[in-house]
Structure 1
């Protein structure tokens, strides 16, 4: 494990604990304690994931998130904040955050969410060798998804997805032709916080199907009764 993580946190004790725990897990870590330093480190380094506090001196975490997403749609960002309202969480996710942790949190939960976010961004080697990846596009029939620009196109038509819908479709495309159980999907797309709550998978599959399959010549997302779902072209 050599993934690099940027910690953006102005509370020195929290930042130090995160640094120790992440380095113990094998990650390479750098820290920034204000918004300006965070942007400088982000622009001059290569990061696999960013842990971003919302309340920062100088430039807020939300503004940093906006600037990151303006140039980079792929790097996972997990927000750290003392705010706990549903509105704050939805706002952060809608701006492109991959996940959201409310302080205080358990380090085991944060580590699980980091692992899930890092897994989500990887394309399996089998997908590459099977011709399911073309440059930065993931392909399935007339459907293609670009993780860098976060574009989704089917039969030449652009499809608008929410961040979570995009992550779900991306995961299905990366593992297409594989039958994926609900627990497996929850762990990869939603992370630790949703363990045991697989109903959320069914809800979001319905959302994505409505946008990606409805009105097109063939269905790509299929239900495997009693198991889960699979994305594949019709035979």
Structure 2
């Protein structure tokens, strides 16, 4: 997908952009809504993401959702309350999520918006590296054509590694994204589950894909 992200918070915008680009999306980041609105007329985007703090938004920000447009608009709103999200939808947004949304949910909602716009669903259905394949629609995993049975947590850990292939990921980042916590989980939990995956993914293959980078974390790569 070709996406336009309108977000004035540089760190948050960069984090969202990088995560969306991992899924082979093209993301243009614009810091203000006026320029963003102009960009939607200059280039063809599949969807627009606009972050909005309800308390800090002015009338121009709020009217933006009412403008005539052909591109789907998804608002990332804060404070993350049901009333704020309902108000955004009532004001003209095609979809709305809170600012604490999981990146997988955000991606799925964007694909759903594009599906409704185009009438069909055209996106990647698999992630692959070497002879390891993840079928995203079935949530199934294959190595050299042989199906591998994974527990849900093992699957999401593998999926997170695959979504960040070639990038070293720290234990803290894994805990925050796969377990949604970095505080209440035992320190060796990630190591234990990495070993589970290695036994199921790498043990029977001469090509090892899951690697430890001492003092830094883990990475999936050839």
Name the TM-score, length of structure 1 as normaliser. Answer: 0.46
Q: Which has the larger radius of gyration?
A: 2
Name the TM-score, length of structure 2 as normaliser. Answer: 0.49
